[in-house]
Amino acid sequence: MLIVDKQDEIVKTSENDFLNEIKETIKGKSSNLRVRTNVKFIIAGQGAVGKTTLVQRYLGRPFHAQYLVTLGVQTSVVSVNLEPLVGIQKTVKLQLWDLAGQPQFREVLRPFFAGTDEAIFVVDLSRLSTFETIIDWIKETNKHNMKKTPFVIIGSKYDLIGNSATSLESVIKEYLLQIKEVTKDPFRDELLFLETSSKNDLNISEAFEIALLRDILLTNR
């Protein structure tokens, strides 16, 4: 996991360590926190980066290597019990809106950005050029959601890069710095980038938990 901090320094940590840090922060404030019981995430990015598989794995479904095009939008709802995560006796209804990545669907998608609480933008680690569409997705989300929308970036298909992970890191860092410079997330000065593998079930639940718990913190700023 990479974090671009307030000074544009890039810190490397593990998804589990960062998740535990957020959990401890929320537990320390739990008696005073407002928690929304309905939260909407969009999952967006270029076509074939692994968005649908990421969502399906989070929902507990098996991995399928065959690529299926999402036509427009596919929605799922999952109930998240916060008690075992952070000791809050509430359940969040998490709406997951999986948006098609192909350009021909872009106009059709515009109404579905409305009401987004947090965006998960997905890139394919085996095709780093997929980073190049993220700024457009961020701008599109903000425009049609009519506000600056918090987001995290997920790199999928970590299983495909193998021993190349270290050599690719410098390129990924450059992309992250470009994205942070252009977008300037006003809710939190950190830009979060997580690495996942749907095939190996790597950091799937951690990614969604980080996004959800971060949303709770942002709601209480």
* CB contact set of 30 (below 8 Å; sequence gap of 6+): 86, 87, 88
Alpha-carbon dihedral sign for residues 50, 154, 90, 83: positive
For the chain, the domain total comes to 1
Write down the residue that tokens 């929320």 correspond to. 26
Tokens 């190049």 -> residue: 132
What pLDDT was estimated at residue 188? Answer: 55
Residues 47/100, Cβ–Cβ less than 8 Å: yes
**pLDDT reading at 11 higher than 90:** yes
pLDDT at 107: 81
CATH code, domain with 117: 3.40.50.300
82's CB contacts (< 8 A; 6+ apart) are 35, 88, 89, 90, 91, 92
Decide the pairing of beta strands 38-44 and 91-99: parallel
* This prediction's pTM: 0.94
Alpha carbon distance 73, 135 (integer Å): 20
Residue 187 has pLDDT above 60, yes or no: no
Has residue 189 got a pLDDT over 70?
Answer: no
Q: What is the phi-psi region of residue 12: left when phi exceeds 0, alpha when psi lies from -120 to 50, beta otherwise?
A: beta
Label residue 87 by pLDDT band (50, 70, 90): very high
- Least trusted range by pLDDT, from 16-30, 86-100, 171-185: 171-185
Q: Among 147, 132, 144, 143, which Cα is nearest to 185's?
A: 147
| Phi, psi angle pair for 184, to nearest 5° | 45, 75
Which tens digits make up the pLDDT trace of 126-143?
A: 999 999 999 999 999 999
Question: Tell me, what's the pLDDT at 70?
Answer: 72
Do strands 10-12 and 151-156 pair parallel, antiparallel, or not at all (unpaired)? Answer: unpaired
Q: Which residue segment(s) compose the domain that 98 sits in?
A: 2-219
SS3 call for 118? strand
Average predicted confidence (pLDDT) for the chain: 91
> Is 49 within 8 Å of 123 (Cβ atoms)?
yes
Q: Extract the tokens encoding 162.
A: 């193998």
Tens digit of pLDDT for each residue in 25-79? 999 988 789 999 999 999 999 999 999 999 999 999 888 777 667 778 999 999 9
140-145 LR contacts (CB < 8 Å, sep 24+): 140/106, 140/110, 140/113, 141/42, 141/44, 141/113, 141/116, 143/113, 144/110, 144/111, 144/113, 144/114, 145/113, 145/114, 145/115, 145/116
